[in-house]
Amino acid sequence: MVVIGEHRHTQVQIDLQAIKHNISEEMTRKDPLTELWAVVKANGYGHGIIQVAQAAKQAGATGFCVAILDEALALRQAGLTEPILVLGIVEPEYAALIAEKAISVAVGSQAWLTQAATVLAANQVNAPLHVHLALDTGMGRIGFQTPADLAAAVQTLRQPQSPFDFEGIFTHFSTADQADDTYFIQQLTNWKTLIAAVDELPRYVHVSNSATSLWHQACNGNMIRFGVALYGLNPSGTALSAPYRLQPALSLTAELSFVKHLAAGKSISYGATYTAKQAEWIGTVPIGYADGYERRLQGFHVLVDGRVCEIVGRVCMDQMMVRLPHEVPVGTPVTLVGTDGDQTISLQDIADYCGTIHYEIACGLATRLPRVYTDAE
């Protein structure tokens, strides 16, 4: 992948030791017989799919979860041989490629199995296609909804000379990160009803994303899909406290590219939405909404020399302006996510200001921002 942005002093730093710390905490807490698969979809939640996967493997992850087939292929191309589960529906036309690369896929309908079997036969594929049956217990996204449909799919998978390997069965809880567990219990009940239709369970039985494992550990099954907590982010935001310290892995920094003295009455940026009431020092930061730093962050703040500095005027596509406490040199570091002195800005802080979740902020950081990795003990 071509990195566009190497010659600009704006970058994302990823602390791989933080990744390993978070996995280590979960490894210590889980049942020894329960596997941990690292969820590295969406370019490792913006952290870098290959680097995160390699660090997770070093920390004890025995498999990986992704969202689309191309992410799984990227892991294989990088030399990772561990099991990989694609959590989203992959078109059955790619069944031969999936089987050849020993990738596992989520399946939620009998029709998918029928089409995939045809593709496998036409391509004379000898390797089995690894299948994890998805159960829709209340997420409303993908999966079997009735015991009868599920039982029919299991029968298909277990027919003599079947081209499939019935490797796993799973569901996804939609409210595991909430204090009110009413809907969670409904989903759990639905899960138990559905899997009762399977006379012999497959190798992997899994329901736990990060939130489920953190706050409903008894439901873990024999595999955890360790996602956002892997990156040191609390799945519930601020609603629930994690049972151990999650260490954020990502920071975002830049440098002041321009500093000027602004006279009272002068305005800044598109729409002239900010006008100085008095003479001020203004710094320009080389980052904007094209980098995933949201336009709606006008009025939020960054850190310069450990001081909180407000973002003034609208965030532009590639640059934005901040009000400085005094004149500082061009090239002075700017912290957008991370710690400077005794001040910290978290992804959660940015998400709260934008009225969204930290997942979206992390995943939205553009590839134009180079990722710089540290792995110091």
Positions annotated as catalytic residues are 41, 270
3-state helix, strand, coil in the chain (%, to 5): 30, 25, 40
223 is in an annotated binding site: no
1 is annotated as contributing to ligand binding: no
Q: Phi first, then psi: give them for residue 280, nearest 5 degrees.
A: -140, 155
Distance of alpha carbon 105 from alpha carbon 53, whole angstroms: 18
| 85/63 Cα distance (integer angstroms) | 8
Listed residue (79, 75, 78) closest to 104, CA to CA: 75
Strands 164-170 and 129-134, sheet pairing:
parallel
Phi and psi at 335, nearest 5°, equal: -105, 120
Count CB atoms within 10 A of the CB of residue 42: 18
Query: Which run of H or E residues covers position 43?
Result: helix 41-45
Q: Nearest CA to 23 among 172, 213, 165?
A: 213
Give the residue ranges of the annotated binding site for substrate: 141, 317
Annotated binding site: 141, 317
